[in-house]
């Protein structure tokens, strides 16, 4: 029996090649999209889930009431770990994690830059980062021990054994490699190639006991069997006995397994995070799959007339309805299996580009039983879902009707299919609108007035001997005609690394806790960046030595501070009095999607990490770069010359939104494609069914164009209804999306109009092919068949 | 007595009027009869055949088939009944295009849960009996109309039914092919004792039967 079904199904597929291709193609596109999304979701959900003790690992967070709003953040004082160890016996291990830093490691002539951090020895006990070489108990015991990853070892030592090697860090201290770690998997929040013991930091005198310096991460491992709820209540008041400034700050334990997906807090309450995007994409995956299934139903029922005879014959020779339902379900499961094979091939081929698109390295774990389990369930689910309607519909045919040739139920069966088409096109229109809106939003922000000149501008990190030789570097760059201007700054112009609510100005109310960004700069900042001066002047240390304590404000800062005459006002910060010498127009320094916040340039007395160099535009960038490299190599010989272009940096601020746009476009195109496959099939069915009507009309004198219009009209009406459904939904959704941006476009009717026109156009192209074909057919032929 | 129809009525309501498809039909069929049903188009021949074959229901009257009251039976039992005792032959053959001759013959047996070896034997027997062994792997489109109808008859006979219902079995055939099919029916009826009820327009074909029933506007005349 099964063999008989299989034979029928297979011959059916082969005999109706175009139909089969439409059907399998539509379904496989849907399956491929779902598969790709599921692979990504699986990757994100698996983040940091590989730690054996993951259920007992927590990160220490703080919650603090600032102006009636509870702020939540995850950095802690360095001293907190020792208090936890001393006062809380429920804790098995505790480890601090210093912020990740890039340092230069050298051995002989070999230099490599590597990213890593400083941890307590217990770090390797808490987290499952397995050692290939070295003893977990002792690798981080010695002050100058160094644990590195395989990649680090290979880069630094090649094929030599790593353990026992001695390397120099930043040309200062020497470290001895004591252990080699397996490279970190790419689904972990951590990112390090080397680990240094905390003892080193202590020896260097950086291990402060300041409770208000919240700068590092603290992780704890609870003892087995500890009740989290009870313990978290107990630890809440940790600071009471130690922290003089903020004894009421709440210490809060956050499960480490939630960090990647959640960890967004609003007023002290977890409000989601990446999980929201994952949910959105899961919904998209389900919608795409359902649309593909709808397609399948549409195409299958459209061919019902062909199958009707088979149903009739089978019933007459004794088949029960149930047997037929199973036959058709089995058939659709088989088709979905074929589609899944095609989809898998598509996924394998598309995976590299998709990985690039979402900037996440995805792979398929072929040996994972879960993968096959999920794949098989999706095939089964799709097959049953897609086959359910055709199976019930087809198996219900009455043999006495279908076998006598009186079978003509066109009108009764059209309604459910109309609804299916409307659903498909509603989704397509919503996605087209989303693509248009996101594209408009991005390009509007890209065209936003920047407020500074990002061309010919690079920045270089101050490291090694740069600080020591800065004067020489500066004069060689300027005198050599390589740079037109140069300025040291705290951070790249595209980012703000420092802010405070403690900056004071005349007339500031004591409970004003507005954050003001600081961007210290030493000299000629306005000239280097090409900022627009509104009042006053640039830093000029040569002419005015007192400019080392001068300050330049942006317009938003002036507004915040309420100055009518900002020049020469005194602003207090970090124990210094800064006098205002200039005001610049607002410029974009953080996200271009948000509003510009108050910021100040503090003068040369502040601290610096970067040098910004404005190249002389008369030379080519390549020659400027080459000359600059030569100078840096001369004065800072141990470090490779690394630089960044400000304009490229700025472009990176759009990566996230661009990615969103690209994904939206991709899904839009695919959904339209699937919908069109369905529409095409339906149109061909309609044309076939009305062939007699068309014949009669032609005999009575109807023109080809008249008939084409007649046939297309019905479908375009459906698209029109979809438009009515889609517009309010997409208006609401896009409005919500835009709320996230302070700098945003207004929704306009043309965006919906364009989406609608596009949908109508695509539908018309799809349908009219069949309509014209039908309209051109010879009436004598079509009428004879009856 | 194979079957008995008593005062059978069947109607549809159209535009507020009741249109009778079958009106007060009484019919007794003994085992071994060969009956021809005749009448102009729309006189209810096919409807009558469908009612007898239990493919269609009726609105009033009694129908007994082998002493079972069909009108009171549940759908499932009715299906079992016609599955076991009735074979159908159609004007346009209604073979499944996607199956070969052999597979078409096998299909009814699948639904009757015969074992694989039994099925094989029965199909081989049928192919042999109808002299179509050489065509067993061909698809219906590769056969002439007469050959297709031959397969259609073979399919109807394969499960050894007591009654064959044939709805204009020669309607699509030329005269020579018709002749052959009718000869076959006659042989089946006379030699194997199969009861046959056929609908036909042709006096010549009707003459093969032992009895003729004439219908006009749903009524026996």
Of B55, B94, B97, the CB nearest to A400: B55
Domain membership flag for residue B22: no
Together in a domain, A222 and A96: yes
Q: Do the beta carbons of residue A513 and residue A66 sit within 8 Å?
A: yes
Q: Do the beta carbons of residue A487 and residue A612 sit within 8 Å?
A: yes
Rounded to 10 degrees, what is the CA torsion of A192, A197, A202, A205? -40
Once rounded to an integer, what is the mean pLDDT over residues A393-402? 80
Strands A145-149 and B195-199: unpaired
Residue A405, pLDDT above cutoff 70: no
Domain membership flag for residue A594: yes
Could you tell me what percent of chain B has a pLDDT over 90? 41
Together in a domain, A747 and A760: yes
Q: How confident is the model at residue A548 (pLDDT cuts 50, 70, 90)?
A: confident
Domain membership flag for residue A399: yes
Together in a domain, A501 and A469: yes
Q: Please report residues of A whose CB lies closer than 8 A to that of B95.
A: 313
Residue A719 lies in domain = 425-447+653-786
Domain membership flag for residue B113: yes
Residue A683, pLDDT above cutoff 90: no
Q: Could you tell me the two tokens for A551?
A: 């300050």
> pLDDT, tens digit, for every residue of A227-242?
999 998 899 988 888 8
Show the 3-state SS of A293-338: HHHHHHHHHHCHHHHHHHHHHHHHCCCCHHHHHHHHHHHHHHHHHH
Q: Which residue is closest to B168 within chain A, CA to CA? A: A404
Together in a domain, A542 and A439: no
Domain membership flag for residue B170: yes
Complete DSSP assignment for A259-304: TTT--EEETTEEEESHHHHHHHHHHHHHHHHHHHHHHHHHHHHHTH
Together in a domain, A65 and A117: yes
Task: Name the domain boundary from A229, A259, A289.
Answer: A259
Q: Please report residues of B whose CB lies closer than 8 A to that of A318.
A: 79, 82-83, 108, 111-112, 159
Q: Could you tell me the two tokens for A304?
A: 């019902």
Chain B nearest C-alpha distance from A717 (Å): 31
Chain B nearest C-alpha distance from A7 (Å): 8
Of B95, B99, B111, the CB nearest to A8: B99
Together in a domain, A501 and A404: no
Q: Please report residues of B whose CB lies closer than 8 A to that of A317.
A: 83, 88, 107-108, 111, 155
Q: Could you tell me the two tokens for A193?
A: 């190639």
Q: Across chain A, what does the average pLDDT equal? A: 87
Q: Do the beta carbons of residue B149 and residue B170 sit within 8 Å?
A: yes
Asked if A8 and B46 come within 8 Å (Cβ–Cβ), the reply is no
So what's the pLDDT on residue A412? Answer: 43
Domain membership flag for residue B80: yes
> pLDDT, tens digit, for every residue of A598-610?
999 998 888 888 9
> pLDDT, tens digit, for every residue of A5-14?
787 788 878 8
Choice among A46-55, A134-143, B88-97, B122-131 with the minimum mean pLDDT: B88-97
Residue B135, pLDDT above cutoff 80: yes
Together in a domain, A751 and A786: yes
Adjacent-strand bridge partners of B88: B165
Once rounded to an integer, what is the mean pLDDT over residues A619-624? 90
Q: Which residues of chain B form beta strands (DSSP E)?
A: 3-14, 17-29, 34-38, 60-65, 68-69, 86-89, 163-167, 195-199, 211-216, 219-220
Q: Do the beta carbons of residue A230 and residue A210 sit within 8 Å?
A: no
Q: Which residue is closest to A9 within chain B, CA to CA? A: B98
Contact status of A4 with chain B (Cβ, < 8 Å): yes
Together in a domain, A517 and A595: yes
Q: Do the beta carbons of residue A494 and residue A653 sit within 8 Å?
A: yes
For residue B84, give the CATH number of its domain: 3.40.50.300
Domain membership flag for residue A23: yes
Q: Which residue is closest to B80 within chain A, CA to CA? A: A318
Q: Could you tell me the two tokens for A84?
A: 């936890």
Q: Could you tell me the two tokens for A484?
A: 């037109």
Q: Which residue is closest to A316 within chain B, CA to CA? A: B88
Domain membership flag for residue A158: yes
Q: How confident is the model at residue A404 (pLDDT cuts 50, 70, 90)?
A: low
- b vs e for A53-75, b when ≥16 Cβ sit within 10 Å of the residue's Cβ? beebbbbbbbbbeeeeeeebebb
Of A1, A15, A316, the CB nearest to B110: A1
Together in a domain, A312 and A204: no
Q: Please report residues of B whose CB lies closer than 8 A to that of A12.
A: 98
Domain membership flag for residue B1: no
Q: How far apart are CA A415 and CA A419, in angstroms?
A: 6
Domain membership flag for residue B108: yes
Task: Name the domain boundary from A652, A667, A694.
Answer: A652
- Triad A407, A408, A411: Cα angle to 5°: 150
Together in a domain, A710 and A663: yes
> pLDDT, tens digit, for every residue of A749-773?
999 999 999 999 988 888 888 888 8
So what's the pLDDT on residue A785? Answer: 47
So what's the pLDDT on residue A782? Answer: 66
Domain membership flag for residue A350: yes
Domain membership flag for residue B23: no
How many structural domains is chain A composed of? Answer: 4
Asked if A313 and B79 come within 8 Å (Cβ–Cβ), the reply is no
> pLDDT, tens digit, for every residue of B51-61?
998 888 899 99
Q: Please state the φ and ψ torsions of residue A645, each to the nearest 5 degrees.
A: -85, 135
Task: Identify the three-state secondary structure at position A97.
Answer: strand
Q: Could you tell me the two tokens for A727?
A: 């517009």
Tokens 């989303």: give the residue: A434
Tokens 């069947």: give the residue: B10
Residue A542, pLDDT above cutoff 90: no
Q: Across chain B, what does the average pLDDT equal? A: 89
Choice among A298-312, A518-532, A566-580 with the minimum mean pLDDT: A298-312
Q: How far apart are CA B151 and CA B92, in angstroms?
A: 12
Of A11, A318, A323, the CB nearest to B108: A318
Q: Please report residues of B whose CB lies closer than 8 A to that of A398.
A: 55
Residue A408, pLDDT above cutoff 80: no
Asked if A316 and B88 come within 8 Å (Cβ–Cβ), the reply is yes
Task: Identify the three-state secondary structure at position A352.
Answer: helix
Task: Name the domain boundary from A240, A259, A278.
Answer: A259
Together in a domain, A66 and A197: yes
Once rounded to an integer, what is the mean pLDDT over residues A738-743? 86
Together in a domain, A662 and A525: no
Domain membership flag for residue A624: yes
Residues 87-146 on A with a CB inside 8 Å of B are none
Once rounded to an integer, what is the mean pLDDT over residues B189-199? 92
Q: Please report residues of B whose CB lies closer than 8 A to that of A11.
A: 98-99
Mutate to test the interface with B, among A318, A324, A325, A326 (most CBs of B within 10 A): A318
Q: How far apart are CA A512 and CA A533, in angstroms?
A: 27
Q: Count how many pairs of residues, chain A against chain B, have C-beta atoms within 8 Å.
A: 59
Domain membership flag for residue B66: no
Domain membership flag for residue A420: no
Domain membership flag for residue A277: yes
Residue B110 lies in domain = 33-55+75-220
């Amino acid at each position: 029996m099964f063999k008989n079904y299989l034979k029928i199904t297979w011959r059916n597929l082969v005999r109706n090649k175009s139909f089969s291709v439409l059907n399998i193609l539509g379904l496989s596109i849907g399956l491929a999209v779902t598969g790709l999304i599921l692979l990504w979701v699986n990757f994100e959900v698996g983040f940091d889930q590989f730690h054996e003790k993951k259920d007992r690992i927590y990160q220490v967070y703080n919650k603090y009431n600032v102006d009636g709003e509870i702020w939540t953040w995850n950095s802690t004082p360095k001293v907190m770990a020792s208090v936890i160890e001393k006062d809380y016996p429920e804790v098995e291990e505790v480890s601090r994690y210093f912020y990740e830093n890039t340092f230069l490691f050298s051995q002989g002539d070999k230099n490599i830059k590597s990213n890593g951090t400083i941890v307590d020895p217990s770090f390797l006990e808490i987290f499952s980062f397995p050692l290939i070489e070295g003893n977990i108990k002792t690798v981080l015991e010695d002050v100058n021990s160094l644990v590195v990853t395989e990649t680090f070892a290979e880069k630094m030592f090649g094929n030599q054994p790593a353990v026992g090697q001695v390397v120099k860090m930043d040309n200062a201290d020497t470290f001895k490699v004591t252990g080699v770690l397996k490279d970190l998997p790419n689904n972990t929040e951590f990112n390090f190639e080397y680990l240094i013991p905390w003892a080193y930091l202590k020896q260097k005198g950086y291990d402060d006991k300041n409770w208000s310096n919240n700068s590092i991460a603290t992780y704890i491992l609870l003892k087995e069997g500890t009740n989290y709820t009870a313990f978290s209540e107990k630890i809440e008041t940790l600071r009471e006995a130690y922290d003089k400034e903020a004894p009421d700050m709440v210490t809060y334990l956050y499960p480490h397994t939630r960090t990647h997906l959640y960890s967004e807090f609003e007023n002290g309450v977890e409000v989601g995070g990446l999980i929201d995007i994952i949910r959105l994409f899961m919904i998209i995956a389900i919608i795409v799959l359902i649309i593909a299934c709808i397609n399948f139903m549409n195409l299958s029922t459209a061919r019902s007339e062909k199958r009707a005879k088979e149903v009739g014959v089978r019933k007459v020779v004794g088949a029960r309805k149930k047997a037929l339902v199973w036959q058709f379900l089995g058939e659709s499961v088989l088709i979905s299996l074929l589609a899944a094979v095609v989809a898998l091939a598509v996924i394998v081929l598309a995976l590299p580009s998709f990985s690039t698109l979402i900037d996440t390295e995805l792979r398929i774990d072929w040996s994972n039983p879960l993968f096959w389990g999920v794949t098989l369930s999706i095939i089964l689910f799709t097959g049953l879902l897609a086959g359910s309607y055709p199976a019930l519909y087809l198996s219900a045919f009455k043999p006495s009707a279908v076998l006598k040739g009186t079978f003509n139920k066109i009108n009764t069966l059209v309604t459910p299919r109309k609804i299916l088409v409307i659903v498909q096109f509603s989704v397509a229109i919503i996605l087209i609108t989303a693509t248009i809106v996101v594209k408009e939003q991005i390009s509007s922000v890209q065209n936003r007035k920047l407020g500074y000149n990002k061309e010919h501008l690079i920045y270089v990190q101050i490291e090694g001997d740069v600080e020591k030789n800065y004067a020489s570097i500066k004069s060689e760059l300027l005198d050599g005609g390589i740079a037109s201007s140069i300025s040291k700054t705290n951070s790249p112009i595209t980012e703000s690394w420092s802010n405070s609510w403690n900056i004071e100005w005349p007339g500031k109310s004591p409970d004003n806790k507005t954050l003001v960004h600081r961007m210290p700069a030493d000299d000629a900042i306005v000239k280097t960046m090409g900022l627009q001066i509104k009042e006053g002047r640039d830093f000029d240390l040569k002419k005015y030595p007192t400019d080392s304590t001068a300050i330049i404000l942006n317009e938003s800062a002036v507004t915040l501070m309420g100055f009518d005459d900002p020049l020469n006002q005194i602003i207090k910060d970090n124990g210094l009095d800064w006098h205002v010498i200039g005001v610049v127009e607002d410029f974009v320094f953080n996200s271009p999607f948000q509003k510009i916040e108050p910021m100040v340039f503090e003068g040369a007395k502040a601290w610096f990490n970067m040098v910004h160099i404005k190249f002389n535009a008369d030379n080519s960038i390549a020659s400027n770069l080459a000359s600059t490299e030569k100078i840096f190599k001369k004065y800072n010989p141990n470090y490779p010359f690394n630089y960044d272009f400000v304009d490229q940096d700025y472009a990176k601020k759009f990566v996230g939104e661009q990615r969103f746009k690209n994904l939206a476009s991709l899904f839009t195109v695919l959904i339209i494609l699937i919908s069109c496959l369905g529409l095409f099939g339906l149109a061909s069915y309609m044309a076939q069914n009305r062939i007699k009507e068309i014949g009669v009309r032609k005999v009575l004198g109807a023109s080809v164009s008249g008939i084409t219009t007649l046939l297309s009209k019905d479908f375009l009406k459906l698209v029109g209804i979809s438009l009515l459904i889609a517009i309010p939904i997409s208006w609401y959704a896009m409005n919500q999306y835009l709320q996230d941006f302070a700098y945003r476009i207004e929704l306009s009717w043309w965006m919906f109009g364009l989406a609608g026109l596009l949908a109508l156009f695509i539908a018309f192209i799809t349908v009219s092919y069949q309509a014209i074909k039908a309209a051109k057919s010879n009436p004598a032929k079509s009428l004879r068949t009856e | 007595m194979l079957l008995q129809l008593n005062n059978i009525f069947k109607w549809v309501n159209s535009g507020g009027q009741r249109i009778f498809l079958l009106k007060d039909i009484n019919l007794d069929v003994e085992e071994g009869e060969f009956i021809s049903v005749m009448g102009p188009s729309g006189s209810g021949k096919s409807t009558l055949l469908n009612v007898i074959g239990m493919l269609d229901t009726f609105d009033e009257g009694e129908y007994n088939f082998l002493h079972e009251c069909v009108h009171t039976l549940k759908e499932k039992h009715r299906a079992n009944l016609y599955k076991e005792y009735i074979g159908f032959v159609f004007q346009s053959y209604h073979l499944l295009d996607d199956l070969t001759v052999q597979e078409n013959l096998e299909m009814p047996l699948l639904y009757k849960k015969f074992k694989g070896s039994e099925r094989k034997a029965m199909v081989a027997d049928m192919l042999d009996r109808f002299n179509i062994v050489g065509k067993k792997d061909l698809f219906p489109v590769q056969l002439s109309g007469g050959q297709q109808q031959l397969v259609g008859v073979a399919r109807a006979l394969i499960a050894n039914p007591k009654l064959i219902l044939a709805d204009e079995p020669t309607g699509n055939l030329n005269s020579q092919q018709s002749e052959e099919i009718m000869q076959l029916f006659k042989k089946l009826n006379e030699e194997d004792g199969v009861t046959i009820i056929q609908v036909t327009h042709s006096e010549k074909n009707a003459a093969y039967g032992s009895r003729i029933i004439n219908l006009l506007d749903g009524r026996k005349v």
